[in-house]
Structure formats: structure tokens, C-alpha cells
Amino acid sequence: MVSTHQRRSPHHRGIKRTRKVKILATLGPASRDRETIAKLLKAGADAFRVNMSHGDHETHRETIANIRAVEKDLGRPVAVLCDLQGPKLRVGAFKEGKAFLRHGAHFTLDRDPTPGDDNRVCLPHPELFGILQNGQRLLIDDGKLRLVVIKPEADKILCTAEVGGTISDRKGVNVPDAIVPVPALTEKDRRDLAFAIKEGADWVGLSFVQRPEDVAEARRLMGGYGALMAKIEKPAAVESLEEIIELSDGIMVARGDLGVELLPEEVPPIQKHIIEKTRAHGKPVVVATQMLESMITSPSPTRAEVSDVANAVYDGADAVMLSAETAAGQWPVEAVTIMDRIAAKVESDSTYRERIHLAETPPDATTADALSASCATIADTLPIEGIIIFTGSGISARRVARERPAAPMLVLTPSIKTARRGALLWGAHTVLTKDIGSFEEMIAKGKRMALRHGFGTAGSRLVTLAGVPFGVPGSTNLLHVVTLSGNELASPK
């Protein structure tokens, strides 16, 4: 039986999802045009990632402009996440463009810029010389080659090829056993960050976070503009997870590099741990990388990939992300469509509610948290069709979302920034609307917006959450249960 909040009202405006988990899709050559962006939104995408590792500012500016044009056409706030490249370490170039490392052979990394060969190559990162110790690992090309340090010196590092193979120009280097003394943001990252802020990015992704100080530095440079999403892809970040979450606005489980630097079997429990901890802080958490990777070239995913997406949804993640599948793949719209279908199927499972509440999210000892928890309790106890949240900053919506209530959230805000950021928040349908000035106006507008956006019909009950005095951030102190008559749309705006 389909509940009324899963049926569209004839007065419904924009796109309304029946699922609660969000989909973040990366845009690229295969998808950044306006027509494809519209198709991705209609297929199920809620937010878009712009990868600053590829392309130039002019291309990214055009992509963001296309997103905003489609957002206006479809009447749905859309989040834009600009993902910074971060301090990626790479080897230098080779005489032949590549070389071959024999298993067990010696190989030297040095400061000599001369093109490399089968015995040596330049490592153009002086910060690594002097910090590496005997026995530490260096992982090349996403872990395809593994070197072990046997004699570190000031100008060269002698290694043994524990796992050999072909190595080519400028392949990436991961150092899982040490905290590398590199700045959180490179000069390129600083330029990209300034660009993202200027272009109105809603979220900024901070790559290769190692320490809480990395997040603090990025926040300082952002100057209060945009929301910061720390990407957890280094073992050191896992060790400082609590502090990093506190300093961030959201967290991304970036399993690509995390899976390189950790043993494969370590990643799934860490993923669950990160989701649980981030949820407890009431901040959105995104699971990313290789979710439907076979769909880069195939019109359908593997069964293992379907299970991977499903598990992230069962764990209670706010959003799941597509990378190359939508940025450069042959089937971008199909990838979003299938991810949407997987998420919807999981959320219709009779055990879903039980599973997402395995993680405890005790409220803080504040009025706002107590009322947010009460919203979820009421929605779990009564036949509630939706939770109406009036918010300026979005904090109230995040608090309610942390509880993963049974009913969907209609988030009403006068701030376009808050409306867009909410596109990555579990269960939130955000709507830009004028602020309210009285209790009576709040009730009337809440009912009208609920009918207009498909949150119930005549006789439906909803929970309303707001703060008095209205328009004051952090004043959440009012919870009210209302019943729709069906005549609210006849009222003036």
C-alpha cells in the first residue's frame, strides 16, 4: 500500500523524491551539457560534483552555469560540490615513458630530475626525504606496485620492489605509514577554492585530509562561504576522525585512496564507523568511489556493485556518489537511474527502518535537540505524512535528519544557500520561501506548502518544527502537530 506522501499532489511543483537517501553525480565530458544535466536530475540525481582535478576554470564555470539554468527550469534546489584535487604525490618521468620493476629488485627514488629507468626515478617531493624510515611502504599507481624502504637518505631513498610491475610517468604515490608534512591545500587548490567560492559552490570537498589542522586551514581560507566536506581517504584521518568531523560541515568516505592505503578487508568496517560517527554529529555523510564502476562501459552493474550501494543505504548514509560513471562513462543517465532504483528498493524493505537505527544518535542536552528527537518519535508513533521544518541556517533540518525519521522532511527556508546545501541531506525536500513573522503565518504557510509539494492530502497530519522569535538562528523551540483540511491552497500566499 502506498502512503499519501508517496503520491504526487496535483499542485506539486518541482521534483519530489520518494526515497530519502540522496544521489551525488560527478559531471564531466559525458554529462556537463545542460540537456544531460536535466536528464540526470529527472533520473534521480540531487546534487552534482565538479572535479577540480580535471579541466580548467572556464569549463567548470560553464558547467556550474548549466546546473543553475537547469535548477531554475525544474524548480528544485540543487547542490554543487567543487572537489579540490589536494596534495597528490607523484613520481617523475621515465626515458621511455615507462619502466619495469622486477619483484624483489632494488629501486631508488631520488631528487635528480633526469628521466628515470628500471633502476631509479625522480621523486619531486622534498618533504618525503627525511621522514621515511626502514620498513615503511610506498604504494605506486593505486597500489599496483609496492615498494618497501630499506635505506632512506637525505637525497635518495633505496627501496625493494615487494610487488613489481610496469611503472609509467607521473603515477601517484601513497605513503600509508607516515603523516606527510605537506600543506592541506596546494597553490592549485587555493586558486580552485577561490574560484569555487566566487562561482557560488554550495560545498567544497577537501581531499587527502590528514589532520584536524588541515580542515581548520581550509575553513579559514573559505571565510564563512560555502560548506566544507572533509574527504576521509588517509589512515591518519581515520585516527583523528572525531576532531575532523567537529570541524567539518560534512564527511565523504572516499574509498578509492582509503582502499589503497589500508588492507581491503579494513575498509568496510571503517566505512560503517565513519557513517555512524558523522550521523551522531548530525552532519551529512557521503559514500563515494567505485560504487557502479562497471557502468563506465556497461549498461548494467555487477551484482556486487548493487550490494555495495545497497549496504551504504542500509547503513544510513545521507548520499551515495557516482564518479567516472557519470563524468566520463558511456551510460551516465542509466547509472543514476539504477542507483535510484537500488536506493528505493532498499528503503521499501521492511527491515530498513530497523537497520538504519542500529547506530545510536543520542540528542544533546538542548531544547533544539530534544524537539528534533521528538519529531522523529512522533513520526514513528503516529501516521504522520511529513515533518515541516522552518529554518534559516539548516541546523534544525540536520538535527531532525540525524534521527532518520519515518516521515519525509519538508524544509522551508528563505535562504537559497540553505536550500541548496540541503540537497545532500537525508530525507530533506528543500523549498525556497519567504520568511515567516508569526505563529499563525507559520501554520498557514506550512499547510499550504505541504499540499503544494505533495506532503499529504485532506486529513493528513504533519509535525511542524520552528523557532520563536522567527528569523533568529538557533532558536528552535516550537513543535506543533497540524491536520490538513485540503482547503489551504485557496489561501493567499
The residues carrying an active-site annotation are: 49, 90, 231, 289
Torsion of CA 315, 319, 324, 327, to 10 degrees: 170
Cell 528503503, residue? Answer: 347
Strand order of the β-sheet with 428-432 is 428-432, 409-413, 384-390, 461-467, 476-483
Q: What's the rounded Cα separation, in Å, for the pair 62 and 40?
A: 17
Query: Does a cis peptide bond (omega within 30 degrees of 0) precede residue 264?
Result: no
- Give the count of alpha carbons within 13 A of 277, CB side only: 20
Query: Does residue 324 contact residue 293 with C-beta atoms inside 8 Å?
Result: yes
Partnered with residue 476 across adjacent β-strands are 467
Residues 6+ positions from 5 with CB-CB distance below 8 Å: 385, 386, 407, 408, 454, 455, 456, 460
Query: Does residue 270 contact residue 234 with C-beta atoms inside 8 Å?
Result: no
Q: What's the rounded Cα separation, in Å, for the pair 459 and 348?
A: 24
Task: Classify burial at 381, counting beta carbons within 10 Å of its beta carbon; exposed 0-12, middle 13-18, buried 19 or more.
Answer: exposed
Please give the grid coordinates belonging to residue 118. 628500471
Q: Which is nearest to 388 in space by CA: 455, 452, 472? A: 455
In Å, the largest CA–CA distance within the chain is 80
Q: What's the rounded Cα separation, in Å, for the pair 156 and 128?
A: 10
Cα 301–232–221 angle (5° rounding)? 125
Residues 6+ positions from 303 with CB-CB distance below 8 Å: none
Stated as kind and residue range, the H or E segment containing 65 is: helix 57-74
Query: Does residue 442 contact residue 434 with C-beta atoms inside 8 Å?
Result: no
Length of the chain: 493
CA gyration radius, the chain:
24
